[in-house]
Structure 1
Amino acid sequence: MKTIKVIGFLMLLLAANLTFAQDELQITAKDSIVQSSWIFGVGFNAVDDSGNVFDGLFNVGDEWNMVPFPSRVSIGRYFKNGLGIEAIGTYNKYKEGNIIDAVINPVDINYYGIDGRITYDLNKIIGQTGWFDPYVGVGAGYSDANNLGRGTYNAVVGFRTWFSDRWGLDFNSTGKWAMSQGDGASNHIQHAAGVVYQFGIEKGLSKRGEEKLELLAAIEKEKQRQTDSITEVNRLKDEALLAERLEKERKEAVLAAAEKAKLDALNKRKEEIRSRIENLGYVYFDLNSSTIKGKSKTILDSLSVIMKEIPTLKLKINSHTDSRGASTYNDWLSQRRVDKTNEYLLSKGISDDKLITEAYGERLLLNECDDNTYCSEEKHAVNRRSEFEIIEF
């Protein structure tokens, strides 16, 4: 049973990954849509009252009647269930020379219409898009067309497309059937296009947002189930699992202790090497000399032994002079000293790639004995040296 639950949870996660591969699994502004609002619209309308219904439906020049200014106003309330109630007022003018009720219209005739309708948002069936809202509707109204007033039964099909939560465009076509055919009243079609503005907005989650919310709730529920299961295991303290865990921890502790001991030994070894090199001391030179003599040779011999013992050891040789003499001369002299020190170690079988050198002249004195300070020979001698800096172990 537990295995089945785990498989079910993995399938749930897989479904989440496939459904929301392009989006992070969280509720965002994109998942929020307008569910109810008031909509106010202003636009244009065109009336086709030619009398031939669908024949010549797009014969705009001869059969459509329009005025060159906004001629339609509407106000409506739209609800969460997809239904909307709307009131519409229109003005138009039948143009002289257009076909009206199957005859040529002899003079301009004013057209007035006032209508009420109930619409249904088709997105409730096909799924919310957030920016495209097709709709259908029915209604009734009163039209004064061709100087004949008549009540009408209306049917409408249209769509709105939204630029933002508040602003959009509305396009629709309405068929109007006269309630009574007396006095020659006929049926006609009215097209409309305009700008719409939403206010009194109430927002909610789209279908996709609701799916995300359900999936997040399911994942959270599964996480809680797992947490509760782990808590229960801990509470019951299953002896077999506990023994296995303790044994694993014991082995890990042994390995950790061994690793620490190894690291401590390595650090100790490194410190011993550093101490051995430092304890050898410096290679000292006589005044104005770069010759390596007795004790200095002994130091370099011991250093070469250490370097052979530790093949990975790399050193930097730094050579110096005291402050007496010209600085350019002292630069040259310290270069001679560092070269001689390096050559001696090479002669002892030390590889050239294990040594680097640098000459400092009189720039790095170890005491106060500069050009402006009188010092004894013993103090000056302290500065005439080659010293060793560990680069790598």
Structure 2
Amino acid sequence: MDTLKTIVFALFLGVCTVNAQEETNFWQLGIGYNFVDDSGPRLNDYFNFKEIWHAVPYPSRLTVGYYLINGFGFEAIGSYNEYDAGKIVDGDVLPEDQTYVALDGKISYDLNKIFGQTGWFDPYLMTGAGYTWIGAADRATFNAGGGFNIWFTPTIGFNLNSMAKWGLFTDKGTNHLQHSLGLIFKLGKKEVTKIDEEFEEMAQPESSIVPVEEDSVSDMTKMQDPSPIVVAALPERSPGELRMEAMKRDLEELPVVYFAFNSSYLTPEDKVILDQLIAFMNAYPEAVIEVHAHADARGTDEYNDWLAQRRAKRIADYAQAGGISTDRIKAEGFGEKKILNRCINGVSCSESEHRTNRRTNYVLISPVTNSAGE
């Protein structure tokens, strides 16, 4: 028995010391309730909560886990419960109260990695092992089951799961089911929020002027004919034309938002960037723009279309909340239709390469059309 406890302890130690290298990996904490069905083979009474299920009226389950970008997750689980006298355990009426304590290690796999990202809904399968104490009986268990997460925000969600637990190497106690629900919280997930120099250069219009060294200019001047050159006078531009040029230039120079993977939420840094867009719209009250948002190629086409449209709308909604009229800013999502680099479906790319395609850009649709930056 001491050997089994050592194995279980080693499993938990391994779960808690997974090395965090990828910036999209994250830690997750959870708190909630657990319910135990230890009624034996009476599956026909599965929903007989009053006589068969065991629960306590306060939070009874704590979890800490580490989740990888490849879909695998590792979690340590501690749960407490109470068996009340008079309830059915292993087909018999329990003569006295008993305490239930379990420590489990879980390995899970995110099914979205197979079926495509849904953004807010994460179903998964899980397996693992643990150790359970019920009254005077204790046992090691092999565990397997499934569940899902529903995300209300990028960092807060709801978890529901069910796990079957089979006793190992013992004749004390029987197999049982444990169900859980509660809140989960992502910690330490690094979101990319700053636009690095590579993408700033991408967003700027290319200059057609080639720099010339001063010495070269001096030599060229000496070689020129000293006779005066008559240059035809350029037609003067109207104030309206000058303002239009300034408007287009200022719009092209605005920084833009690069969204985090599988997210449409605006970070505080994103909002600082969008405050500059609001300032531009206030400076040019005649301007009407369209926000174009894009997604990288990971996930299904349908999901990326939805995600890109949601990203564009988040920006438009923020501008409208900042006082910009709804008829002056439109939102359009293009999904993965306008990939800028090699990172199409089936091509393995770095996070930096994928980030290039999670861009946004602004198009001036009134008083003139400007499609630069697509």
TM-score range, shorter chain: 0.3 to 0.5
Give the number of the structure whose residues are more often helix, by fraction.
1
- TM-score when scaled to structure 1? 0.45
Q: Give the structure with higher Rg (CA).
A: 1
